[in-house]
Amino acid sequence: MVELTNNKTRWIPLMRRALQLAALGEVNASPNPLVGAIVLSAEGTLVGEGFHFMPGQPHAEINALDQAGNESKGGTLVVTLEPCCHYGRTPPCTEAIISAGISKVIVALKDPDPRVSGQGIVRLKEAGIEVELGVLEKEAAYQNRAFIFRITTGRPWGILKWAMSLDGRICLPNGASKWISSPKAREWVHCLRSKCDAIIVGGQTVRKDNPLLTSRGLCSPEPFRVVFSEKCEFSKKEIIWNTEVAKTFLAYGPSCKERAENLNFLIGPDLLPLPNSTPSSLLEALALKGCNKVLWECGPSLSSIAIQEGCVQELAVVIAPKLLGGLSANTPLSNFGLTSIDQALSIENIGLDSIDKDLLIRGSLDIQKSDFFS
């Protein structure tokens, strides 16, 4: 964390606005980071605003500079992430900033991408531009936590979501689960999906619940749908194989190779063979496909393994004010093998909301902080 001098605090309201602009890319920017930018003229007037909408489209800085036009000269650029200095699908932002005649750049966060990682700032300073780094750095890092996590670990950020009754049941003994949560809570889940790059379920959830797993059009294209299967036993009846709706992967380990390749009748899904039949292996494959953030919407067994392998960084639990009762398999997680309550995995940064009559509990988890799980 960079120490803020008093002088830097004057940039906080503008950086907050830049973060709001960055958030507008939430649905489409992935695998790129979220970035927002503001240009002030030499006189301090706001003359340009921009954000990064989607890969291949101009970066936030370019959009803000374009809007500012000649007013950029001698002005200040406020940007949530260090400007890039490499040629990707678009030319480096550093060069555009220099040509526009910007004299000062305020940056929230150094870009963790190894192709940038401080070099953008060096380039700007070499060109005689004053640079201040670290304004709302923590907030900017939180906003781009999925991108940063993928860049630094090689795996997408994982969110595990489940809906349960107040007595901790995700379905009835006969498997019925439609619907535990309210229509409004399900709309919230669609919205959450739209901000993720892939939705992951196990084969059993497909067979049992026959889910559609889309955002219902809240984003286009829809997030990837990923069926992670240990058995590869499916039928045409499962609506997920209609891949006109969303790109769909059938992921499996080596032991399932033959069975997966024999599912000829499923013309829709792309096969995604994995070196191991593990959540980690799946996530590494999805990171290579550009996924920053995945949503686990799976049953107890896969959820538990995903947690144990450190594939879940965030929880989103919808609790419906209902009592269902039931048997063992109808709970959100299966057995971790704990023998003492001290070993329990802690959920931090609890956030609490209500959606219609349901409650939404969000929190973060980090198995590295646990003696038992890590």
The CB-of-295 to its own copies minimum distance in angstroms stands at: 18
For residues 133 and 143, give the distance between their C-alpha atoms in angstroms, rounded to a whole number.
17
For residues 157 and 265, give the distance between their C-alpha atoms in angstroms, rounded to a whole number.
33
The CB-of-116 to its own copies minimum distance in angstroms stands at: 36
Residue from the set 5, 337, 368, 371 that interacts with its own copies by CB under 8 A: 337
Question: Measured from the CB atom, is 244 or 348 closer to its own copies?
Answer: 348
Give residues with Cβ within 8 angstroms of 61, minimum separation 6: 35, 37, 50, 77, 79, 83, 93, 96, 97
The CB-of-204 to its own copies minimum distance in angstroms stands at: 18
Q: What x-and-dash track marks residues 345-364 binding its own copies by CB under 8 A? A: xxxx-x-x-x--x-x-x-x-
For residues 143 and 215, give the distance between their C-alpha atoms in angstroms, rounded to a whole number.
21
The CB-of-315 to its own copies minimum distance in angstroms stands at: 7
Residue from the set 254, 344, 369, 374 that interacts with its own copies by CB under 8 A: 344
For residues 233 and 199, give the distance between their C-alpha atoms in angstroms, rounded to a whole number.
20
Residue from the set 76, 143, 304, 313 that interacts with its own copies by CB under 8 A: 304
Take residue 333 and report the two structure tokens written for it: 């997680």
What are the beta bridge partners of residue 354?
359
Stretch of residues binding its own copies (CB under 8 A), selected from 134-142, 192-200, 262-270, 324-332: 324-332
H helices of 161-247, in order, are 183-194, 203-209
The CB-of-186 to its own copies minimum distance in angstroms stands at: 13
Residue 56: exposure state from Cβ atoms within 10 A (0-12, 13-18, ≥19): exposed
Contacts by residues 243-247 (CB-CB < 8 Å, ≥ 24 positions apart): 243/268, 243/269, 244/268, 245/212, 245/214, 246/213, 246/214, 246/221, 246/222, 247/221, 247/222
The CB-of-363 to its own copies minimum distance in angstroms stands at: 6
Count of residues that interact with its own copies, criterion CB under 8 A: 52
Question: Measured from the CB atom, is 42 or 347 closer to its own copies?
Answer: 347
Phi, psi (5° rounding) for residue 43? -85, -5
User: By CB under 8 A, is residue 135 in contact with its own copies?
Assistant: no
The CB-of-348 to its own copies minimum distance in angstroms stands at: 7
The CB-of-331 to its own copies minimum distance in angstroms stands at: 5
3-state secondary structure of 110: coil
Question: Measured from the CB atom, is 201 or 319 closer to its own copies?
Answer: 319
Is residue 61 among the annotated active site residues?
Answer: yes
User: By CB under 8 A, is residue 313 in contact with its own copies?
Assistant: no
Q: What x-and-dash track marks residues 171-210 binding its own copies by CB under 8 A? A: -xxx-xxxxx------------------------------
Question: Measured from the CB atom, is 179 or 265 closer to its own copies?
Answer: 179
Do 237 and 215 touch, CB atoms closer than 8 A?
no
Question: Measured from the CB atom, is 166 or 288 closer to its own copies?
Answer: 166
> How long, in residues, is the chain?
374
Stretch of residues binding its own copies (CB under 8 A), selected from 41-49, 63-71, 189-197, 325-333: 325-333
- Which residue bears the tokens 């260090």? 82
Give residues with Cβ within 8 angstroms of 153, minimum separation 6: none
- Which residue bears the tokens 């940056």? 107
Q: Pick the catalytic residue: 49, 61, 132, 297?
A: 61
Question: Measured from the CB atom, is 127 or 323 closer to its own copies?
Answer: 323
For residues 313 and 187, give the distance between their C-alpha atoms in angstroms, rounded to a whole number.
22
User: By CB under 8 A, is residue 368 in contact with its own copies?
Assistant: no
Phi, psi (5° rounding) for residue 317? -115, 120
User: By CB under 8 A, is residue 211 in contact with its own copies?
Assistant: no
User: By CB under 8 A, is residue 53 in contact with its own copies?
Assistant: no
**Which residues form the catalytic set?**
61
Query: Which residues sit at the interface with its own copies, rule CB under 8 A?
Result: 164-169, 172-174, 176-180, 304, 307, 315, 317, 319-328, 331-341, 344-348, 350, 352, 354, 357, 359, 361, 363, 365
